[in-house]
Structure 1
Amino acid sequence: MKSPKSIILVLIALLFVTEAHYAQDTNSQAFWVHEDPVYPAKVADYEEYCSILANNCKKFNIDTAHWYTVSTDDLRYFHLSPIDNMADLDKSRFSGLQSKMGEQEFNQLFDNFDNCYDTHSDYIIHLDNELSYMPGGVDIAEDGLEFRKLEFWYTTPQNFNKVLDLAMQFKQLYAKKNSPEHYRVYRSGFGAPGQFILVAISAKSPEDYERIRKENKELLAEERNKIYEQLLSSIIRVETLNGYMRRDLSYIPAGTK
């Protein structure tokens, strides 16, 4: 986690850079991502601090903070905060919490976070409802499906629109075949480490994911391969991560999902 002062500076910068995008994009949900690559020796401490932060937000019913946490096998923690409008970017999420906890305890908590890594990053991604394949409705939480397969497909600015077009072809194929493999597609936004689409697949477990993946591949057969080959020729690299939705480290205010 970043210090409150650093968070405010990031948000102010995003306020001006992303205004035009929000005004035009009505079919996506933006998320501010805070990513922490944690020292192996500090994982237990880091999770304890995350839990303290989430529990205090819950205890004091802080309505300006809201995030989902996903941890991955390479000890990265992704905290995703939904952004509904431009005003959200200009809010200090934890100002109310600081006054409730007390300044000394609050500042000490964030100082503790800083001992758990040597770098971290903030950026924006956009959940694209049009490109996502979830017949029952797009839902990032998906109760009971805690496992996450995260696929980052990096491309060049010149090929980004082509990759988006191929993503739409995949969705149309999945829908035509009534595929059992549901997924969400995110587009990289301001401050992201490269240009990519992120495909997030939920399952009960790694074994459940492998079962669904195999069934889906057999179902789509050669039609999938044709699109997949075009995708491989349009990207520059792929990063695949296994992770879990961490509800114990997340904070969703009462009355929201």
Structure 2
Amino acid sequence: MKTIKKTLLLICTLCFFCNISYAQKYYQVHQDNVMPSKIWDYEKIAKEFHAACVEHNPQTTWLCATMDDMRYLYVSPMENFADLDERPFADMAKAMGDKFSEMFKKFDQCYGSHGDYIIVLDEELTYMPDGISQTQEGQDYRDYYFIYYKPKNGKNVREGMKAVKEMFAAKGSKSHYRVYRTGFGAMESYYMVAMSSKDAIDSANKQKTNEELLGPDRFETFKKVMDYATKMEEVTGEIRRDLSYAPKEE
């Protein structure tokens, strides 16, 4: 039984490293699925935790993004798997004593589930001709598109995503986007497309302009992805700079 477990872990790890060969940047994500009845309590404790981090200056970094289905994502860049063994809050927890654990007890009352996984920024599929960046000044509104697929169709979905990028580039589209894919720790395979705008109105205007630019032929290109998708999910959200964190330079 132990041999089987080790073999499966090795296969999963190898699959992950095969996937990241397409990209250069990968991230650890902590996701909290907050219950509607606890959203205000969660906001309160999240801001308290952020303030405590500013005070104690733990040596870690994350970008916070929220989605309209009350998902809170804390996204931290990773250099390698050794980062997962680090304990950036150890000194902070020691200095705060019981107050530190009490904060996380309050967090636990606010979500039905939470967990960690890794996503990869796929630069080959990302369409940002002016340079790739997770954040753009004044554009904190987000449209997220999740494209789920069976692992056996991974190559076909990827080829379809390439075709979409080529279409956007050929038409000179101004609707730029980043593409992330699931890595180690994710139970389902999907690509997540993130598009930035100033607000919902700006997003709608961009979408309309882009549809007119791409024309009706766009459906044939999108079909190259959709033919192999098992599920589609579209949500909106925003970058929460007030809950994002970076340590002060010493």
- In the superposition, the TM-score normalised over structure 1's length comes to 0.86
Other-structure match for 2:3: none
SS of equivalent to 2:233: strand
Deviations 1:177-198 (A, max 9, x none): 1111010000111221411100
Deviations 1:88-127 (A, max 9, x none): 1110131122123x22010101111000012112211111
1:200 aligned onto 2:194: yes
Deviations 1:116-154 (A, max 9, x none): 012112211111111101112111122211111111000
Q: Given the superposition, is the C-alpha separation of residues 254 and 141 from structure 1 closer, same or farther in structure 2, using an over 3 Å criterion?
A: farther
1:141 & 1:245 partners in 2: Cα distance? 8
1:142 aligned onto 2:111: no
SS of equivalent to 1:58: helix
Identity %: 36
After TM superposition, the structure 1 stretch with the greater mean CA deviation from structure 2, 21-30 or 83-92, is 21-30
Q: Which ranges of structure 1 fall in alignment gaps of 5 or more residues? A: 1-13
1:17 & 1:228 partners in 2: Cα distance? 30
Deviation at 1:170, TM superposition (A): 1.1
Amino acid at match of 1:99: K
1:85 aligned onto 2:80: yes
Q: Which ranges of structure 2 fall in alignment gaps of 5 or more residues? A: 1-8
Contact 1:15–1:90 (Cα < 8 Å) also in 2: no
SS of equivalent to 1:131: coil
Residue of structure 2 aligned with 1:71, choices 51, 58, 66: 66
SS of equivalent to 1:108: helix
Contact 2:148–2:190 (Cα < 8 Å) also in 1: yes
Other-structure match for 1:164: 158
1:230 & 1:104 partners in 2: Cα distance? 54
Amino acid at match of 2:139: L
RMSD of aligned C-alpha atoms? 2.1
1:36 & 1:43 partners in 2: Cα distance? 11
Q: 1:79-118 maps to which residues of 2 (within 5 A)?
A: 79-100=74-95, 102-118=96-112
- In the superposition, the TM-score normalised over structure 2's length comes to 0.89
Q: Given the superposition, is the C-alpha separation of residues 22 and 153 from structure 1 closer, same or farther in structure 2, using an over 3 Å criterion?
A: same
After TM superposition, the structure 1 stretch with the greater mean CA deviation from structure 2, 106-115 or 165-174, is 165-174
1:54 aligned onto 2:29: no
Q: Given the superposition, is the C-alpha separation of residues 44 and 16 from structure 1 closer, same or farther in structure 2, using an over 3 Å criterion?
A: farther
1:126 & 1:247 partners in 2: Cα distance? 21
Other-structure match for 1:227: 221
1:28 & 1:193 partners in 2: Cα distance? 22
Other-structure match for 2:126: 132
1:40 aligned onto 2:36: yes
Deviation at 1:228, TM superposition (A): 0.9
What is the count of residue pairs matched by the alignment? 240
Deviation at 1:87, TM superposition (A): 2.1
